[in-house]
């Protein structure tokens, strides 16, 4: 009986240590992932802005293609993500 209790106690201690290590690493991992995501969104937004400037240089008489229309929707969504990110960072 003592052996079983000792094994269970050892496993509980090991599990608690593993959980503690994970809990300590998690905030940094989340921060890194969030930072990476923000950087990617900003880079993509800048790329799209450059592309939009080039497309605006076209004559305004030309109708938007389906790809241009979809790209505008994507740009708008990315802009909203950037705004949300700024709000979140402002609250922290």
Average pLDDT estimate for 67-88: 84
Write the pLDDT tens digit of every residue in 19-46. Answer: 999 889 988 888 889 889 888 888 888 8
Overall domain count for the chain: 1
- 80 touches 46 (CB < 8 A): no
Specify the DSSP class assigned to residue 21: H
Element (DSSP H or E) covering residue 56: helix 2-56
Tell me the whole-structure pTM to 2 decimals. Answer: 0.46
**What was the pLDDT predicted at 20?**
92
- Range of the structural domain that residue 10 is part of: 2-91
**Which residue bears the tokens 């890194």?**
32
Tokens linked to 59: 């004559």
**pLDDT band at residue 2 under the 50/70/90 scheme:** confident
């Amino acid at each position: 009986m003592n052996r079983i209790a000792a094994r269970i106690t050892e496993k509980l201690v090991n599990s608690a240590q593993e959980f503690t290590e994970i809990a300590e690493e998690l905030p940094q991992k989340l921060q890194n992932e969030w930072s990476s995501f923000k950087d990617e969104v900003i880079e993509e937004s800048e790329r799209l802005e450059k592309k939009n400037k080039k497309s605006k240089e076209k004559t305004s008489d030309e109708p938007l293609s389906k790809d241009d229309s979809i790209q505008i929707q994507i740009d708008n969504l990315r802009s909203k993500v950037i705004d949300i990110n700024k709000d979140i960072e402002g609250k922290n």
